């Protein structure tokens, strides 16, 4: 379908996990973006080593569940939580399997970009099992072939303002790239407040103040949560008040996009479909929901095209 906004950019998508080969996965993605009328897309990896899960103890899951002040609400909405608490070892094994299925290494992301003729613009994932120096070297080695790095404060169990990330941020700045940070909660045990406490836009703001000449993107408008949609939305609005902080609309209920435009304007918002991770939504449907909000044309132009073009012309050297 042709988009309302010509030359639209989807700023937040992932390689389809069910196609293991990175080139094939991203060709599939490029075809899907093309059908939905997008001319370019930012394709984001998730990566971590399995030892990350060795550090997660069964007792941590139980403790995080017990700390949830509204545990009953969590248990009612999420029957899996009761299972996870009853059998935390099995939950960790399940997470291990998830990690194997979804991870994409930096070199795969480069293949992904190549396979799409660079219509797909790769962002690699931070990997907390690597030393900050090692991670920074990886980033420098990929100059011109990646747009930047994404941090998942939930899975990576790393707050975005952690000093551990400073060398990585510095390397991203050197290659002229940008940093994307997952904010809000995440499916599974990561929905528990103790497990998503690092994924706050206020911590992105802190990092952005320390790294004034580096661009940060608050993914999901801080709103990602199955049980408490919009959980850190207000913090996200506050964070994008910083010159070097933007936010993407991926996986956020469109009401938050409308609210954000009303409260702070559209100059800092980027459309992201989060394909293929948002259940029951295809790229076209995700875009259609925002187009249907009744926003003024200039806002749609900003969200779907101008803001993305501005960032890509600054940070993408291909």
Contact positions toward Zn ion, by CB under 5 A? 274
> Residue 273 CB, nearest distance to Zn ion (Å)?
9
Nearer to Zn ion, 274 or 301 (CB): 274
> Residue 58 CB, nearest distance to Zn ion (Å)?
27
Nearer to Zn ion, 47 or 274 (CB): 274
Nearer to Zn ion, 122 or 132 (CB): 122
Nearer to Zn ion, 191 or 274 (CB): 274
> Residue 274 CB, nearest distance to Zn ion (Å)?
5
Nearer to Zn ion, 154 or 157 (CB): 154
Question: Which residue's Cβ lies closest to Zn ion?
Answer: 274
> What sign does the dihedral 238-241-245-247 (CA atoms) show?
positive
> Residue 106 CB, nearest distance to Zn ion (Å)?
17
> Residue 180 CB, nearest distance to Zn ion (Å)?
9
> Residue 193 CB, nearest distance to Zn ion (Å)?
21
Nearer to Zn ion, 33 or 274 (CB): 274
């Amino acid at each position: 379908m042709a988009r309302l906004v010509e030359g639209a950019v989807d700023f937040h998508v992932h390689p389809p996990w069910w196609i293991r080969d990175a080139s094939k996965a991203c060709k599939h993605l490029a075809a899907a973006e093309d059908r939905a009328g997008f001319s370019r897309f930012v394709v984001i990896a998730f990566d971590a080593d399995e030892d990350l899960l060795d550090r997660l103890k069964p007792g941590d899951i139980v403790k995080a569940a017990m700390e949830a002040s509204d545990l009953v609400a969590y248990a009612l909405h999420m029957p899996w939580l009761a299972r996870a608490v009853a059998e935390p070892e099995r939950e960790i094994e399940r997470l291990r399997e998830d990690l194997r299925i979804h991870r994409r290494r930096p070199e795969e992301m480069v293949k992904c970009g190549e396979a799409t003729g660079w219509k797909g613009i790769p962002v690699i994932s931070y990997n907390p099992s690597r030393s900050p120096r090692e991670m920074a070297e990886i980033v420098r080695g990929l100059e011109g072939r990646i747009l930047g790095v994404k941090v998942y404060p939930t899975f990576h169990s790393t707050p975005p303002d952690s000093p551990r990330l400073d060398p990585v941020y510095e390397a991203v700045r050197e290659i002229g790239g940008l940093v994307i940070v997952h904010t809000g909660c995440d499916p599974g045990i990561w929905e528990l407040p103790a497990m998503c406490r690092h994924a706050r836009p206020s911590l992105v703001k802190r990092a952005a103040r320390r790294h004034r000449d580096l661009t940060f993107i608050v993914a999901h408008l801080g709103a990602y949560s199955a049980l408490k949609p919009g959980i850190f939305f207000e913090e996200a609005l506050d964070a994008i008040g910083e010159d070097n902080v933007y936010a993407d609309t991926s996986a956020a209920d469109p009401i938050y996009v409308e609210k954000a435009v009303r409260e702070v304007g559209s100059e800092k918002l980027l459309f992201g479909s989060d394909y293929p991770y948002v259940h029951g939504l295809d790229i076209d449907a995700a875009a259609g929901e925002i187009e249907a909000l009744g926003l003024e044309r200039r806002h749609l132009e900003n969200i779907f095209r101008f803001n993305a073009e501005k960032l890509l012309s600054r940070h993408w050297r291909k």
